[in-house]
Structure 1
Amino acid sequence: MADFNQYTRWETQMHGVQLPRWDDLPKFDLYMDQVTALVNEVLGPLGVDTVTPAMINNYVKHKVILAPVKKKYQTMQLTDILMISLLKPMFQTDTVRSGIDQITAGDYPKQAYDNFIGQLEDRLHHLGEDQVQPAAKNLNEKLMQVAVDAVVSRLQSAKLLTMIKRPIRKVEKTK
């Protein structure tokens, strides 16, 4: 069983996580293999499940993201895939899409994505510290805060579960 120091080392690693803002993403369109490589490179340090071409094709098929143009993906599709990958473990993809649509209805997609990534980074950089979040000014801000909290809580719980995982003895049923 892992010790608590190992977990605090992981928290410290999260303090250094840097996630790309909209302007940090490629300014040119990407093919599927480039998209999966980029998304998995960005999210790898967080321990998020690997994104596959089949997953992305499924998002397109179910209209969770826009279809590529001539098999090429643009920045908006990349940001959607990144956010879906972070939120998918807790929510159904149509719920994630609805949340993205709600946030971007009141904010430009670039601003909404950058705000989400900024809040997520801030929370990760202060893991293990008592943090007081500023009060949300509206429902969209509150939705974003709750989504960020859900991602961070999921990352923490997944890490803790893998660290303390031990064989479980099967208990025989008594009649």
Structure 2
Amino acid sequence: MDIMDAMNEYQRWEDSLAKINLPKWDELPNFDLYMDQVVAYVNNLIGSLDLDLVTPAMINNYVKHKAILAPIKKKYQVMHIADIIVISLLKATFPIDVIRSAMDQITLRKYPKQAYDHFVELLMARLQRKPVTDSQVKSINENLMEVAVESVITKLKAEELLRIMEKTGKPQVIKDVSKK
């Protein structure tokens, strides 16, 4: 694969990101789901982003470490699903306790629905290569959300560029000429 082919492949990949659509709060299932349904639902959403898929063990670990609330009678509600989606997007770049802390800080000033919807809007705008915000004066919440979104985008781009570069050729082994 030559440089132009690699750049075209990367452009196609970026174009495919622009077609991804994550649901806003009101588009999330508004009925309780069991663990296997939550796993299938979330993995269907994040799978197109090539992120690590969620497992029941991960979700149980999130509950155990208080990253998400415990399910009610083994059923997960909209709040749980929104939290699991956000954690799934951010866990590759931030530790779970940092994600939970950030979510708690943001929801001190915004209702969870507003915070989740805004996060999804910011992420969708970046996936579609649109500017993230028009505002010259940003709140600390806005800055935190933008940095979190940028971390997701940057990680996705870096991994894809590396994948494409690895297809173009293997690095040459450097020989140690000092041992003669």
Does the TM-score normalized on the shorter chain lie above 0.5? yes
Q: Which has the larger radius of gyration?
A: 2
Aligned to 2:142: 141
Question: Identity over aligned residues, as a percent?
Answer: 52
Aligned partner of 2:150: which letter?
D
Runs (5+) with no aligned partner, structure 2: none
Q: Distance in 2 between matches of 1:77 and 1:6?
A: 36
Could you tell me how far 1:22 is from its partner in structure 2?
0.5
Question: Superposed, which structure 2 residues align to 1:1-175 within 5 Å?
Answer: 1=1, 3-126=6-129, 131=131, 133-134=133-134, 135-165=136-166, 166-171=169-174
Q: Deviations over 1:69-90 (max 9, x none)?
A: 1111111111111000111111
Q: TM-score, normalised to structure 1's length?
A: 0.91
Q: Distance in 1 between matches of 2:174 and 2:91?
A: 33
RMSD: 1.7
Q: Against the structure 1 CA distance between its residues 132 and 79, is the aligned structure 2 distance closer, same or farther, given a 3 Å change threshold? A: closer
Q: Is the 8 Å Cα contact of residues 136 and 142 (structure 1) preserved in structure 2?
A: no
Could you tell me how far 1:64 is from its partner in structure 2?
0.7
Q: Is the 8 Å Cα contact of residues 33 and 53 (structure 1) preserved in structure 2?
A: yes
Runs (5+) with no aligned partner, structure 1: none
Q: Deviations over 1:3-33 (max 9, x none)?
A: 1000000111111111100011111111111
Structure 1 segments, 4+ long, off by >2 Å, are 131-137, 166-175
Secondary structure in structure 2 of the residue aligned to 1:90: coil
Q: Against the structure 1 CA distance between its residues 74 and 136, is the aligned structure 2 distance closer, same or farther, given a 3 Å change threshold? A: farther
Q: Deviations over 1:47-75 (max 9, x none)?
A: 11111111111111111111111111111
Q: Distance in 2 between matches of 1:171 and 1:31?
A: 53
Aligned length: 172
Could you tell me how far 1:172 is from its partner in structure 2?
5.8
